[in-house]
Structure 1
Amino acid sequence: MSDRSEPLDALRGLAISLVIARHYFGFKFGMVGVDLFFVLSGFLIGGILLDSRERPGYFSSFYGRRAFRILPLYWLLLVIAPPAHWGYYLFFIQAVPWLQFGYPQYEPTFVTWTLAIEEQFYLILPLLIYWLPRRWLIRVLWGGVLLAPVWRWLFHTYLPDYSWEFLLPGRLDELFGGVLLACFMRGYCRSGIAWIMLACVPPLCDVTYAVTVGPFGFLSVAAFACCVIVWAGANMGRPVLLRPLIWPGRRCYALYLFHLLVFDVFFDLGYPTSACVALPIVWILAEISWRAIEAPLIGYAKRRFAKAASGVVQIAGAV
């Protein structure tokens, strides 16, 4: 049996397609792709950690495979387009200078804000899953989900603009929501009704804030919707209609990291010419990256580090 899930690969493809549509063609709802990426990450990484928590090499296997998957292309981007304050980028704490000097949203390396959140998430989640009993793990995860809107409101009030969107606590309803979905599929849920009621609280908070205070953000609504989408994808058979999305889904990392860099090269051509020229080039580069860098390193990491125990969603193959 393949260790990958075609439906979840297709969801990755949908997510990266939405992000590129946002940056290349100004698609208004393209940032939902980032929300979907975060929920998928929580679901897949949470599932891997839950399945391997009792196995030897729990930490070394997880961090070894993550390092081979993430760092090579990340370092390559920093070499090609070295950002200001690049030393912070090496440790995934680029938000520190951003809070002081502003968010460089038009730099090609700004896309690494999601990687910074992911890496910080990777430092927290393995410890929670390893050390906490099941009952307390569920409580902590739900606490993160329920407090995420509060963090966003506080960041919006006391920190520079957009901080609520680019810092880890404001994304916990998406990341921890994905982990809770992985827990649900492994039988950790005692009361489905209670979980559904809890899941509705953050979206209701966002809607209430928008009605009573003013327009702000609906990340909890997006998180809830993306959790439903990921749950549907995890329970889907082979997705015939989604098959065109599987290719970009398996190459989404390079597509995400380099799509703005390639777009900037042709920016002077103007819309929509720059986007139409950049799009096939970034697809070609992603294919080269997959064949020459990513797939060989993923294969080496699989051989080098112990595999997680097989489980309900282990076929997702988030290497």
Structure 2
Amino acid sequence: MSGKRIMDIEVLRAVAVLGVLFHHLQGSLFTDNVPLLEQIHARAQHWWGVDLFFAISGFVIARSLIPALQGCTTRQEYWAQTRNFWLRRVFRLLPSAWLWLALILLACVFLNRSGAFGSVSANLQATLAGVLQYANFRFADSFFHYEYGSSFVYWSLALEEQFYLLFPLLIVLCRKHLVWALLALVAVQIFTVRTPLLMVVRTDALALGVLLAMWSAQPGYQRWRPTFLHRPWAGVSTLIGIGLLLSFMATDRFTLSAYRIGSIAVLSAVLVWIASYNRDYLMPAGAVQRLLGWIGSRSYGIYLIHIPAYLLVRELIFRLQSTGLPSPAGHPIVTLVLAFGLIVLLSELNYRLVEMPMRNRGAALVKRLGTARPAVPSSGATSC
């Protein structure tokens, strides 16, 4: 499949990150109860955006990595391809992640008169967990037990980065049995009660995304195209309908709660499957698609930035209100405008000044290594 950007995938990234932003409004941006938010959260939860991200990541990574590794004929070629994959991931993800970990820590020390950013000790430990990629395990351990720190969203990044580290090894170990290994991984998780630990190592959506990528390389995949979604509003209605169903399943009103995460993973994979055909089934070309495409392309930065932005707005409002002067600060609408404006500004700066330059450096380094060290077949090497 082509490496060209799929607009429906960008739309799904936008939907996922907007859901996470909305989910974290209560508690991170608003500490007092906002009646409207309380009513919405009682009927719909939006944390499932993380699982949609997992399904997207599994699909996008596997559609390029599996053919590259399965095309290897020597061990040297396999390790070269794996090294290149890891280098691209490092330059794509870590600079922004580490930058915002450092900024959160600085804000905790110097911009924390309100206490919004939490304690220095908790944030130091959270920063270490984020840098060393065990944030998901710390998050599970801290759940309702102790303060995690302001970088708690890094749990999902740690899980994805663990996946990026181990997936190339899984491909070569399982070889022709990779499909069965992934199906077993999904089946076991779907029928397992999720403890806090299992919640932060949930890989069913990732595995389903990988399976979709493998299926998409088969000739018969095109026969399953959902062409009926090209009818006016059919695709958008499907996206809204599945989104509403996911939001309901994420609440306590969903009676089959033991199967909640597995069901959300399957529906997330359905959305990625629709998007994978690159026919604009979910969102037709136009102004809305361009807007969601912009959000989707910046979704990684938005995900990293939204919590520190929320906390910074809380700190700003606290300082304005502590002056005793009349101010509209603290009104929910003003608070939302400030927070979302800050997120848009910071995510755009992050995209232009950090994400794209570092991504290009990673690609240049991989290219330089490829030209500097041409693969020399070894007669004793084993097949990939």
> Fold conserved (TM > 0.5)?
yes
Distance of aligned partners of 1:306 and 1:29 in 2 relative to their CA distance in 1, 3 Å threshold: farther
Residues 237-294 of structure 1 deviation map (CA, whole Å, 9 limit, x = unaligned): 2541533200011011110001011111123536343222110111111111111111
The answer to whether residue 266 in structure 2 is matched with residue 224 in structure 1 is yes
Instruction: Give the distance between the partners of 2:22 and 2:279, measured in 1 at CA.
Output: 27
Residues 268-277 or 55-64, more deviating: 268-277
Tell me the equivalent position of 1:163.
197
Residues 83-92 or 245-254, more deviating: 83-92
The answer to whether residue 213 in structure 2 is matched with residue 179 in structure 1 is no
Q: Pick from 329, 332, 339: which aligns with 1:278? A: 339
Aligned length: 279
Instruction: Give the distance between the partners of 2:141 and 2:49, measured in 1 at CA.
Output: 28
Other structure's SS at 1:274 match? helix
Instruction: Give the distance between the partners of 1:89 and 1:296, measured in 2 at CA.
Output: 22
Instruction: Give the distance between the partners of 2:168 and 2:220, measured in 1 at CA.
Output: 20
Tell me the equivalent position of 1:59.
82
Q: Pick from 354, 358, 367: which aligns with 1:293? A: 354
Q: Pick from 79, 87, 103: which aligns with 2:102? A: 79
Tell me the equivalent position of 1:246.
293
Instruction: Give the distance between the partners of 1:49 and 1:236, measured in 2 at CA.
Output: 19
Distance of aligned partners of 1:277 and 1:71 in 2 relative to their CA distance in 1, 3 Å threshold: same
Distance of aligned partners of 1:306 and 1:4 in 2 relative to their CA distance in 1, 3 Å threshold: farther
Write the mapping of 1:199-218 to structure 2, written as runs, cut at 5 A.
215-216=257-258, 218=260
Q: Pick from 122, 136, 143: which aligns with 2:184? A: 143
After TM superposition, give the deviation of residue 71 of structure 1 in Å: 0.5
Residues 206-227 of structure 1 deviation map (CA, whole Å, 9 limit, x = unaligned): x9xx99x974461111111111
The structure having more radius of gyration, on CA atoms, is: 2
Structure 1: runs of 5 or more not aligned = 157-161, 194-206, 308-319
Structure 2: runs of 5 or more not aligned = 27-36, 106-122, 225-248, 319-329, 369-384
Letter in 2 for 1:236: N
Distance of aligned partners of 1:95 and 1:4 in 2 relative to their CA distance in 1, 3 Å threshold: closer
Letter in 1 for 2:214: C
Alpha-carbon RMSD: 3.0
Instruction: Give the distance between the partners of 2:99 and 2:57, measured in 1 at CA.
Output: 22
Instruction: Give the distance between the partners of 1:117 and 1:270, measured in 2 at CA.
Output: 37
Tell me the equivalent position of 2:307.
260
Letter in 1 for 2:349: I
Instruction: Give the distance between the partners of 1:221 and 1:243, measured in 2 at CA.
Output: 30
Asked whether the 8 Å contact 1:43–1:180 carries over to 2, the reply is yes
Instruction: Give the distance between the partners of 1:187 and 1:258, measured in 2 at CA.
Output: 38
Tell me the equivalent position of 2:174.
132
TM-score (norm. length: structure 2): 0.66
Letter in 1 for 2:82: F
Asked whether the 8 Å contact 1:39–1:227 carries over to 2, the reply is yes
Asked whether the 8 Å contact 2:95–2:358 carries over to 1, the reply is no
Residues 113-165 of structure 1 deviation map (CA, whole Å, 9 limit, x = unaligned): 1001101111221111133222x1111100110011344x1x52xxxxx4342
Tell me the equivalent position of 2:152.
110
Distance of aligned partners of 1:141 and 1:100 in 2 relative to their CA distance in 1, 3 Å threshold: closer
User: Displaced runs of 4+ in structure 1, greater than 6 A?
Assistant: none
Q: Pick from 159, 165, 172: which aligns with 1:123? A: 165
Asked whether the 8 Å contact 1:183–1:189 carries over to 2, the reply is no
Instruction: Give the distance between the partners of 1:139 and 1:106, measured in 2 at CA.
Output: 37
